Structure formats: structure tokens, C-alpha cells
Amino acid sequence: MSPHVPPHVLVVAGSDSSGGAGIVRDIETVSAFGLRCSLAITAVTVQTHQRVERIEQMPPDLVADQMRAAFAADPVAAVKIGMLGTAAVIDTVASVLASSLPVPVVLDPVLASSSGGQLLDDEAIDTLKRKLFPLCTLVTPNLPELALLSGRPLASGETEIVEQAEKLFAAGASAILVKGGHATGATATDLLIQPGREPVRFDASRIAVAMRGTGCMLASAIAAHLAQYETLEISIGKAKRHVFTKLLAARP
Ligand code: PLP
């Protein structure tokens, strides 16, 4: 393989016709750090910024073939997983990952769009936890996603957040980054929670701007740094600064 090929981040995710979230965000983020993307499209969604109008799931074998071809074509140094849509696609993604060379995997557990549509079947949540969590380096839920994944009401403080994250460790996750964007207050705090370790806080001033796709951006930026052998904490810190800069630039 040519030494001049930059590391690739394999993006396994859905498209969003508005460009506000999904693959468009993933590619622009990975490119911003000088890396290239390989791509496995899981679903095509028709969205405006106000609503989800249509979702076409890709057949699981098509997702698997895209992933295998990506691994065969280029040096995949990390995987970023976004929208998966169905239990069958989750199952397939998990089995391709389990049979590939191990690389860092960042999973943004996309359950819904802020434009108002469900992006993961209810029954798929269980498959996500059982099959995919054990293969992930990091899972990045926001507070509503953490509540749904742990089967608890929305957490209102750090103790509850840690309790809910611990339920996900029982399911096989090894590190959880709980995003505080849906909380209130002047500071948006993300918490990195790992078994047997003190939680690590990542603080940023809250920017009053409505921007979609920040979850996609954060997870892709973390994957791009992990692909370059940065530690988890450094990767998260740099990714958070990247998203903060984008939010600042989007202010009216
Ligand atoms: N649509 C697609 C295809 C996505 O992948 C995602 C998030 O990853 C979303 C929508 C949700 O993004 P947001 O909550 O920012 O609207």
C-alpha cells in the first residue's frame, strides 16, 4: 500500500438531503482534519430542516459490502458510526466489524432527528446495546439518548448521568461520552465516563445557536483524532473545540 495514502475514517451513516446532519457533516469534519473518508451508506433520508419526510433503508448486505470494500481499498484507521436505522443493519455492521482488523470505533447512537423523526426502530435499541456496544471504543449519547438507552427518565444531575452510563457498561460499552448540549446553563458540559475511573469533564460556553448535526460532527472529529493515535481524552478535547468553533461561526 502506498505510504502517501492518508489514514481513512470509515463513516457508516445515513444521508440527510438538507445537509444539516449525517454524511455531509461527517465528510466535512473528517476532511477538516486532513484525513479522507471511506463510506458505507446505511440509509437515505429526505429531510428539510423542519421534518423528516422519507427514509429508505439500505439492505443489510449492501451495507456489509460497502464496509468490506472500504476495508479492502484503503488503510481504515478508525470507524465512525451514525444512523443505522434497523436491527438487521446493526447486526450486519457488528458482524463485519467483529471480523475486521480492530480499529477505534466511535458510535453516535442516533435515535431521532431534531427535525422531528425517529431514526432507529424501538426494537433495534436492544440489538444496538447487545451487538454493537461491546465493539465500540466510545459511545456518544446526548441526555435523551442516554435515558432511552438505559430505560430511565431524563437524568437531571451528574450522579444520575453516571448511574445511567453504568447501565450501559453492563451492556458491554467501555467508554461513554454523555453530551450536555440538551441541558441548560451557561456551560455545556460533556462527561467522559469509564468503568472504575472518575468522570472527566469537558466544558465549553453554551452558544445560543440552533445548528443541526453537531453530534455527527463531534463523533467524526473524535474518530479523526483517534485515527491519528491521539488518546481518547485528547481526541474528545480537540473534537469539542472543533464543534465549538463551528457553533461560534454559525452565530447570526
Ligand atoms: N439525520 C441523519 C441522517 C443523521 O445521521 C442524524 C444524526 O446523526 C440526524 C438526522 C440527527 O441530527 P440532528 O439531531 O442534529 O438533527
Query: How many domains in the chain?
Result: 1
Read off the pLDDT of residues 180-200 as tens digits, 9 standing for 90 and up.
877 777 888 999 999 999 999
Within a domain: 41: yes
Tally of CA atoms within 13 A in the half-sphere of 208 that contains its CB: 3
Reported as a pLDDT band with limits 50, 70 and 90, residue 166 is very high
- Is the CB of 113 within 6 Å of ligand 1? yes
Whether the pLDDT of residue 1 is over 60: the answer is: no
Beta strand 76-81 with 52-57 is unpaired
Read off the pLDDT of residues 22-39 as tens digits, 9 standing for 90 and up.
999 999 999 999 999 999
Which secondary-structure segment (H or E) carries 41?
strand 36-47
Residue 191 phi, psi dihedral angles, 5° rounding: -120, 125
Residue with cell 500500500: 1
Alpha helices in 33-101 (DSSP H): 60-73, 87-98
Reported as a pLDDT band with limits 50, 70 and 90, residue 87 is very high
Within a domain: 1: no
Distance CA 131, CA 107 (A): 12
**DSSP states of 83-117:** ---SHHHHHHHHHHHHTS----EEE----EETTTE
What's residue 181's pLDDT? 75
Q: If you measure from the C-alpha of residue 45 to the centroid of ligand 1, how many angstroms do you get, rounded to a whole number?
A: 10
Within a domain: 2: no
Q: Is 22 helix (H, G, I), strand (E, B) or coil?
A: coil
Q: Which atom in ligand 1 lies closest to the alpha carbon of residue 83?
A: 5
Q: If you measure from the C-alpha of residue 82 to the centroid of ligand 1, how many angstroms do you get, rounded to a whole number?
A: 8
Question: 89 lies in which domain range?
Answer: 8-249
Beta strand 176-178 with 187-193 is antiparallel
Q: Which amino acid makes up residue 224?
A: A
Q: How many residues belong to the chain?
A: 252
Q: If you measure from the C-alpha of residue 198 to the centroid of ligand 1, how many angstroms do you get, rounded to a whole number?
A: 30
Read off the pLDDT of residues 96-149 as tens digits, 9 standing for 90 and up.
999 998 999 999 999 877 777 778 877 899 999 999 999 999 999 999 999 999
Residue with cell 447501565: 167
Whether the pLDDT of residue 207 is over 90: the answer is: no
Whether the pLDDT of residue 81 is over 80: the answer is: yes
Q: If you measure from the C-alpha of residue 3 to the centroid of ligand 1, how many angstroms do you get, rounded to a whole number?
A: 35
CATH number, domain with residue 147: 3.40.1190.20
Within a domain: 3: no
| Mean pLDDT for the chain overall | 93
Within a domain: 91: yes
What's residue 119's pLDDT? 82
Q: What are the E-state strand segments in 132-214? A: 138-139, 176-178, 187-193, 200-205
Alpha helices in the chain (DSSP H): 23-32, 60-73, 87-98, 124-127, 143-150, 158-170, 214-226, 232-249
Q: Which atom in ligand 1 lies closest to the alpha carbon of residue 212?
A: 15
Contact 238, 230 (CB under 8 A): yes
- Is the CB of 57 within 6 Å of ligand 1? no
What's residue 11's pLDDT? 98
**74-83, 165-174, 180-189: range with highest mean pLDDT:** 74-83
Cell numbers for 50, please give them: 423542519
Chain-centroid distance, C-alpha 118:
16
